[in-house]
A and B are shown apart, each in its own frame.
Chain A
């Protein structure tokens, strides 16, 4: 079994690829049922998979309609155990945006803080707080 740090890195690679592929239903499976996502640009947190799914569907559809591709590059990861079955992580993520026929640019620079909980042989997000730089 890979180390916890590696498990978490791989978890994020897969999670970011899912959202960038527009696979919202698979992506939301990487969160617990009553997960909470919040960011500094939007004071109202999204609570629970149902709400999160709705919000993210809208974001994905909006990018798609505008012919934009987003790629989340996540790195600078820290992982600290909270207890046996939960972790606190922090990371940076850059979002590269490319319009059809356009040149790629940095759409967003962020810092994230998650609480991950163990599920089976993997992990799920229980809480996510994202700071959008410049907001």
Chain B
């Protein structure tokens, strides 16, 4: 494991800011494109991991649709990142995310506190999630 440069660290922070905003905006296809073609999304809230972009995208569409029905806006705040780089350049990123939910006319609440463990791989001039594991603290 090697120490990553300032530039790379910021690149990764930027990656997550964009990715979380895409998720909150319900941009399911843009979001799915931040995963590798055969990327995996595993979560302790889901019975089975989502495998591949098509499945990952469909899951986001469904979740966003449910929130639209209940008129709830969600914001993912991700931080406290640690980044380790493997020999082949693969990045192992561990972070926390708080999900703030606000119903129309209501007060914001922290809906979930989570741990996010990612394996990121280089793709063209950016990064993609090869494997994501999300652990909700309440489960």
Q: Could you list which residues of chain A lie within 8 angstroms of chain B, going by C-beta atoms?
A: 1-3, 6, 10, 13-14, 16-17, 69, 71-75, 96, 98-106, 121
Residues B76-117 near A (CB distance < 8 A): 79-83, 94, 96, 98, 109-113, 115
- Which of these, A6, A14, A71, A103, contacts B96 with CB under 8 Å? A71
Among the listed B81, B110, B139, which residue makes an inter-chain contact with A96, where contact means beta carbons less than 8 Å apart? B110
Say yes or no: A99 contacts B138, CB within 8 Å.
yes
Give CA–CA (A72, B113) in the complex, Å.
Answer: 11
Q: Are A98 and B81 in contact (CB under 8 A)?
A: no
Residue from A10, A13, A69, A106 within 8 A of B137 (CB atoms):
A69
A72 — which chain B residues lie within 8 A by C-beta?
80
Interface flag for B70 (CB, 8 Å): no
Knowing A1-B3, A3-B6, A17-B80, the reply to whether A105 touches B110 (Cβ < 8 A) is yes
Nearest residue (CB) in B for A68 is: B137
- Contact status B138-A101, CB under 8 Å: yes
> 19 additional contacts, CB 8 Å, given A73-B79, A104-B138, A106-B110?
A1-B3, A2-B9, A3-B6, A6-B9, A10-B82, A10-B83, A14-B82, A17-B82, A17-B94, A69-B113, A71-B80, A71-B96, A71-B113, A98-B138, A103-B109, A103-B111, A103-B138, A104-B98, A104-B110
- Shortest CB-to-CB span from B34 to chain A, Å, is 22
- By a beta-carbon cutoff of 8 Å, the part of chain B in contact with chain A is 3, 5-6, 9, 79-83, 94, 96, 98, 109-113, 115, 137-139
Which residue from chain B places its CB closest to the CB of A101 in the assembled complex?
B138
Cα–Cα, bound, A17→B79 (Å)? 11
Contacts of A2 in B (CB 8 A): 3, 5-6, 9
> Which residues from A are CB-within-8-Å of B115?
71
Whether B96 pairs with A73 at a CB distance below 8 angstroms is: yes
Q: Which residue of the partner chain, among A3, A73, A102, contacts B80 with CB atoms under 8 Å?
A: A73
Closest to A5 in B: B6
Q: Say whether A98 contacts B82, CB under 8 Å.
A: no
Instruction: Collect the chain A residues with CB atoms within 8 Å of residue B83's CB.
Output: 10
Indicate if the CB atoms of B81 and A13 lie closer than 8 Å.
yes
Distance of A49 from chain B, by nearest CB (Å): 22
B residues within 8 A CB of A74? Answer: 80
A6 touches B6 (CB 8 A): yes
Q: In the complex, A96 Cα to B113 Cα: how many Å?
A: 8
Please report the C-alpha to C-alpha distance between residue A104 and residue B110 in the assembled complex, in whole angstroms.
6
Docked CA distance A2–B79 (Å):
18
